[in-house]
Amino acid sequence: MKHKTGVLMGRFAPYFKPYGGVLALDLFCAALTTLCEIVLPMMVRYLAQRGMEDMALLSVGLVMRVAALYLVLRLIDVAASYFMANVGHVMGAKIETDMRSALFRHLQKLSFSYYANTKVGQLMARITSDLFDVTEFAHHCPEEFFIAGLKIVVSFIILCTVNVPLTLIVFAVVPLMIVISSKFNHKMRITFGKNRQQVGEVNAQVEDSLLGVRVVKSFTGEEREIEKFEQGNLAWLGIKRENYHWMGAFTAATRAFDGLMYLTVIIAGGLFMVYGHIDPADFMAYLLYVTTLLATIRRIVEFTEQFQRGMTGIERFFEVMDVAPEIKTPEGAEKLPRLRGDIRFEDVCFAYADDPDTTVLDHLTLDINAGQSVALVGPSGGGKTTICNLIPRFYDVTQGRVTVDGHDVRTADLDSLRGQIGVVQQDVYLFSGTIFDNISYGKPDATREQVIEAAKQAGAHDFIMATPNGYDTYVGERGVRLSGGQKQRISIARVFLKNPPILILDEATSALDNESERLVQQSLERLAKGRTVLTIAHRLSTIRSADKIVVLTEDGVAEQGTHEELLSKNGVYATLYRLAADQT
C-alpha cells in the first residue's frame, strides 16, 4: 500500500465536483431513509409507555395515527431509495467514465520510454477492470458512511436522553470495533493490491500468447503457453485465498462484536431494569436501536470489500496519473511553419534513461539538407534508429541538439513538429477497422477522393478494389487479412495523405518478398519526391541512388558520401556492399 486512505480520498474528491448537486441530493435522500429507521424505535417506545401508564390511553385512533405517520415515512423512504439506486449509481458511472477518459488521455501523452518498460496487459487492467468498482465506490462510499455516521450520532443523542450511563456502556464497544476493523482493512487493502497486480500479469500473459499465436503453433508451443498461464492463474488463486482469509477474519470479528454489543445491552440493560433505572419501554427502545446500529455496521462490513476494491483501483489509477511525460511541449513553444526539411545534429550524445551508462550516440554531428535523400547504413547498434527517433522527438538528446530548419526540436510545438514528419516502418501497424479508416488516419478530415488519390500514388488502389468491399473492407486486428506488401502500401498511402516535408523510412522493405519489395520500392520513390528523406536499410541495393549515404558503427560516423564515392574508398561501406552482393 503506497498511499494512505485519507490522501487517496482527498485526491479522489475533485471527481465529485461536477456532480455536487446530485451528490447533495443523494445524501439528502440517504438522510430521509435513515429518518424512517431512527424514528421507528421511538414510536414503539411511545406506544409501549402509553400502554404501561394506562391501557385506556392506548386507543385504536392513536395506533392508527402512529401507523399513518410511519406509512408516510415509508413512502418517503421508497422514493428516496429509488433516487439513490438510480441517479446515485449513474453519478458513480459518470465518475468512472471521467476517470477512464482522463487515464486514456494521460496514457496518450506518455513517452516511448514508459511503454518500453510497461506491459500493455497491465495498462489494460488499469483502464478497464481497475475502474469497474469505482462506480459502486463513488456512489456508496459517501452514502454508506454518511448514513452510518448519522445513525450512530443521532442514536447516541436520543439514547442519552433516555439513560446516559447505559448509553455510554453500550457505545463503549464501538471504538474498539473501529480499531480492530481498521487493522483488518489494512490487510485486505494489501491483498487487493496484489490481486489487481496479478490481474494485469495474467492479462499481459494472455495478450502475449494470443498475439503470438502463429509463433506458438509453428513451434508447437501450446503446452508451454498453457503451463505459463497455469502458473499465473494459480498465483492469482493464492492471492485470492489470502484475500478471503482476511475478509473471513474481518467478518468473524464484526460478528463477535455484534454478539458483544447485544450481550452488553442484555446484561447492563437487565440490571438497570432490576434496579429501576429504566423501564421496560426504554429497554425495548435500546434493543431496537442496537439492532438498527448493528444492521448499519453489517452494511458497512458488506461494503468494506467494495470499499477496498475501489480504493485499490483508485490507487492504481493515480499511480499511472502520477507518471509525468518525459517528452512534452514546453511552455510558450513556437508552432512551426511549413518546414523546408533542413535537419542538423549538433554534437549529439544519447543514452537511454534506463541504461545511462551505455552511450548510443557519442558527439554526433550530421547535416541533412532540405530535399536531400540520406541513407543510414551499418551494423546493428550503431544508432540508426535512434537518429530517426530523435528528429520527431520521440526521445530527447542527452547532450547537444537536433534542429529542423534551425528550430531546436525541444523548443518546438510537438504537434506542429510531428505533423510534418512521415514515418514508414518495417513493422506496419494497422488499426482494427476498414482500409479507408487506416489510410485516412494520416489526415482525419480527408475526403474519400483524397484517400483514393493517396492510395493510387502508393500503388494500393488496384488491390484495394479487388477486396470484397473495396475501401470499406475490414482489415482485421492488426491488418491480419492483408499481406505484408499490402499493409506496407496502405501505410505509404497514409503518409502520402499526410504529405509531410520530412520522411523517415525505417527498413520499410526488409521483411517483404522480392515482388512486394519491388512494388513498395516504386511507391516509396514516388513518395520521396520533393521531400527530405532518411532511409534505414540493410538491403544496400535499395539505397544506391541516395544523395548521401552515412555509414554508422559503434564508434560513430565511419564514412559518408554517395554510393560511388564510398565504393571507391574501399572502406566499411564497400565491405558491407560486397558482403550483401555475395549473399544474393
The fraction of the chain above a pLDDT of 90, given in percent, is 13
- Are 411 and 493 in contact by the 8 Å Cβ rule? The answer is no
Rounded to an integer, what distance in angstroms lies between the CA atom of residue 310 and that of residue 510? 48
* Stretch (H or E) spanning 425: strand 421-425
Mean pLDDT of 264-291: 81
With 90 as the cut, is the pLDDT of residue 405 above it?
Answer: yes
- Are 443 and 500 in contact by the 8 Å Cβ rule? The answer is no
User: Residue 186 half-sphere exposure, CB side, CA atoms within 13 Å?
Assistant: 10
**Beta strand pairing status for 343-350 and 399-404?**
antiparallel
pLDDT in tens, 160-205: 887 888 888 878 877 777 777 777 777 777 887 787 778 777 877 7
Mean pLDDT of 251-274: 82
Dihedral angle, C-alpha 232, 238, 240, 243, nearest 10 °: -140
Residue listed under C-alpha cell 488502389: 461
Mean pLDDT of 275-297: 78
- Are 512 and 429 in contact by the 8 Å Cβ rule? The answer is no
Beta partners for residue 535, in sequence order: 375, 505
In sign, the C-alpha dihedral spanning 406, 407, 409, 413 is negative
Strand order in 399-404's β-sheet? 361-368, 343-350, 399-404, 407-408
pLDDT in tens, 500-546: 999 888 876 665 666 666 777 787 788 888 889 898 877 777 788 88
With 60 as the cut, is the pLDDT of residue 581 above it?
Answer: yes
User: 5-195+240-321: which CATH architecture?
Assistant: Up-down Bundle (1.20)
- Are 570 and 583 in contact by the 8 Å Cβ rule? The answer is no
pLDDT at 448: 92
The highest-confidence range among 94-98, 156-160, 295-299, 485-489, by mean pLDDT, is 94-98
Higher pLDDT, 219 or 380: 380
> Percent helix, strand, coil in the chain (nearest 5)?
65, 10, 25
User: Residue 62 half-sphere exposure, CB side, CA atoms within 13 Å?
Assistant: 13
Mean pLDDT of 21-28: 91
Rounded to an integer, what distance in angstroms lies between the CA atom of residue 568 and that of residue 82? 86
pLDDT at 576: 82
Mean pLDDT of 568-581: 81
Mean pLDDT of 413-438: 86
Please give the grid coordinates belonging to residue 476. Answer: 482485421
pLDDT at 15: 92
For residue 432, what is the DSSP state?
S
Q: Which residue type occupies 200?
A: G
pLDDT at 174: 76
Q: How many CB atoms are closer than 10 A to CB 127? A: 18
- Lowest average pLDDT, out of 380-389, 409-418, 479-488, goes to 479-488
pLDDT at 1: 47
pLDDT at 510: 60
Mean pLDDT of 300-317: 78
The fraction of the chain above a pLDDT of 70, given in percent, is 92
Higher pLDDT, 39 or 339: 339
Rounded to an integer, what distance in angstroms lies between the CA atom of residue 306 and that of residue 189? 11
Mean pLDDT of 473-502: 82
Burial class (CB in 10 A: 0-12, 13-18, 19+), 75: exposed
- Are 142 and 88 in contact by the 8 Å Cβ rule? The answer is no
Q: What length does the chain have?
A: 584
Helix axes 164-171, 222-264, angle to 10 degrees: 160
- Nearest of 5, 21, 322 to residue 182 by alpha carbon: 5
- Nearest of 383, 329, 321 to residue 557 by alpha carbon: 383
Mean pLDDT of 337-365: 88
Please give the grid coordinates belonging to residue 274. Answer: 432490576
- Nearest of 39, 250, 23 to residue 145 by alpha carbon: 23
Rounded to an integer, what distance in angstroms lies between the CA atom of residue 392 and that of residue 373? 17
Rounded to an integer, what distance in angstroms lies between the CA atom of residue 419 and that of residue 409? 13
Q: What is the pTM of this model?
A: 0.75
How far from each other are the two terminal CA atoms of the chain, in whole angstroms? 59
